Amino acid sequence: MPVPILMPALSPTMEEGTLAKWLVKEGDTVSSGDVIAEIETDKATMEVEAVDEGTIGKILIEEGSEGVKVNETIAVLLEEGESADDIDEASMKGGAASGGGDKAEKKEEEPKEEPKKEEAAAATPSTAPATPSKDAPKHNGRVHASPLAKRMAKNEGIELTALKGSGPHGRIVKRDIEKAMKDGTGKAGAAAPAAAGKAYQPPAAGIDERLYPADSYEAIKNDGMRKTIAKRLSQSFNGEVPHFPLNIDIDLDTLLEARERINAMSPPKGEEGFYKVSVNDFVIKASAMALKKVPAANATYTDDAILRHKHADVGVAVAIDGGLITPIIWKAETKGLLQISAEVRDLAGRARQKKLKPEEYMGGTFAVSNLGMFGIKSFSSIVSQPHGAIMSVGAAEERAVVRNGQIVIANQMTVTLTCDHRVVDGAVGAEYLSVFKKMIEEPTSMLL
């Protein structure tokens, strides 16, 4: 019996993803473990492996398709001795519709008697721009079309009731939508988005054209990452996480001298073992050591208990195309500056290529966001659960400061600790910053 290949859940929180690329085509033979496709989640691009051996009989979801639900059938695998003729509706659906809607949808797609003319007329919106085709199959008043055809029709503003299906039993399939796009038939009244991956013009219903005329902007479609960032940070900022900022100025003269001496010991660039330690590497190390000194700050809030973590797993915010991601330096308090520096470079590089694994960016106990390289003096980040706090690091710069009644020039930076007030109180946050400040101003204290 043909085996459905389902959209996998690549992380515990994944609900849908983009089928970025097929690495096989219909008719290809695959073995268990062969990589057959690439899936884009909200954070990374990951490979999908075949779990059985056989022949790719039919690809149901085209590459580039967005919003593909977890457990939706994306292709059908034929076992030995089977052919494309053995693929039926049941194998293509695979019983994998999410939630309890599978049985209902199957019911809706079972062949029924043709509706009476009065019922058909009632099922067709009076505003439809085209007369429904007599050949478009309907079951329980619904047009019979593949999931991909429905998605394409919605994106392109095409009325399925106006089309004639060329698939099995008159089912509307991808090629019917492509033909309608080419011929310009079945178009709805409003302008529709362009194909996936391209800039599109939103419908007038979503934009007040009195403020923004249609030809005055280019709208870039939100990808999964941007939607997830918006959802989670909105939840945090709008009251789910009651947060407050604490900021402090820190002298960097001693640290910069130590950094210069450490980097001077590196082999020449291009030779094996070359390294270059950054101020941010010191910040990550010091933040982890301070979390161990002030364990109340290394915590996560839950409804039942406050979790005090045994290790300082520090997330490092990395800007990538379309958003940001926070890969984690696990057990950062146990690692030296060179190891931290190497891990940050590796994680940041793979993050920008969307090649991180879920376990490399999910979780953590604390986060660091550094915008100093852009000249930002100070800023407050939004706490991202499950972290109890996030540290925002500003630029290192020369400032005029007063010492012993004299104005002197010192290298300083401003850091801001944003705390989840449910778990990190003001006194705890202040204690943490005090310990962190001492470690940055005297780096050798991290050896104690």
Average of per-residue pLDDT across 406-410: 96
**Sequence-distant (≥ 6) Cβ neighbours of residue 131 within 8 angstroms:** 162
Task: State how far the Cα of 387 lies from the Cα of 299, in Å rounded to an integer.
Answer: 7
Which one-letter amino acid corresponds to residue 374? Answer: F
pTM above 0.85, yes or no: no
Which residue spans within 145-302 are E strands per DSSP? 243-251, 299-301
Ranking 56-70, 116-130, 308-322 by mean pLDDT, the lowest is: 116-130
pLDDT of residue 201: 46
Identity of the highest mean pLDDT range in 149-158, 159-168, 240-249, 426-435: 426-435
Two tokens at 10?
Answer: 């690549």
More confident residue, 84 or 422: 422
Q: Which domains are seen in the chain, by residue range?
A: 3-109 (2.40.50.100), 117-222 (no CATH), 226-447 (3.30.559.10)
What is the reported pLDDT for 198?
44
**pLDDT at 364 (0 to 100):** 93
Whole-number mean pLDDT of the chain? 81
* pLDDT at res. 128: 41
Count of CB atoms situated within 10 Å of the CB of 412: 19
Tell me whether the omega of the peptide bond preceding residue 132 falls within 30 degrees of 0, making it cis: no
Alpha-carbon dihedral sign for residues 37, 39, 44, 48: negative
- Specify which residues 389 forms β-bridges with: 419
Phi, psi dihedral angles at 60 (to 5 degrees)? -95, -30
Q: What pLDDT band is residue 437 in, cutting at 50, 70 and 90?
A: very high
Residue from 444, 326, 442, 327 nearest 384 by CA: 326
Per-residue model confidence (pLDDT) at position 137: 53
Q: Residue 41: which of 64, 72, 19, 74 has the closest Cα?
A: 19
pLDDT for 74 beyond 50: yes
Reply yes or no on whether 421 is catalytic: yes
Average pLDDT over residues 45-68: 86
User: Lowest mean pLDDT: which of 13-17, 216-220, 238-242?
Assistant: 216-220
In this predicted model, which residue has the larger pLDDT, 191 or 398?
Answer: 398
Output the pLDDT for position 183.
Answer: 81
Chain CA centroid to CA 445, Å? 38
Q: Confidence class of residue 158 from pLDDT cuts 50, 70 and 90? A: confident
More confident: 304 or 105: 304
Residue 151 — pLDDT band, cuts 50, 70, 90?
Answer: confident
Q: Do the beta carbons of residue 156 and residue 183 sit within 8 Å?
A: no
Choose the catalytic residue: 144, 309, 387, 421. 421
pLDDT over 50 at 95, yes or no = no
| Composition of the chain by helix, strand, coil, percent to 5 | 35, 25, 45
Please spell the DSSP secondary structure of 229-241, one letter per residue: HHHHHHHIIIIIS
pLDDT at 366 over 70: yes
What local confidence, expressed as pLDDT, does residue 87 receive? 79
Distance CA 91, CA 94 (A): 5
pLDDT score for 421: 94
Q: Average the pLDDT over 303-323 and give the result.
A: 91
Percent of the chain with pLDDT over 70: 77
pLDDT band at 134 (very low <50, low <70, confident <90, very high): very low
Q: What is the Cα–Cα distance from 313 to 333, expressed in whole angstroms? A: 8
What is the pLDDT at residue 31?
A: 86
Separation CA 170–CA 161 (nearest Å): 12
Q: Which of 63, 46, 64 is nearest to 10 (CA)?
A: 46
Q: Give first-to-last CA distance, the chain, whole Å.
A: 66
For residue 207, the model assigns a pLDDT of 63
Look at 156-165, 197-206, 323-332, 349-358 and tell me which has the smallest mean pLDDT.
197-206
Question: 81: alpha, beta or left, given left = phi > 0 and alpha = psi -120 to 50?
Answer: left
Q: Is the pLDDT of residue 145 over 80?
A: no
pLDDT (mean) for 255-260:
96
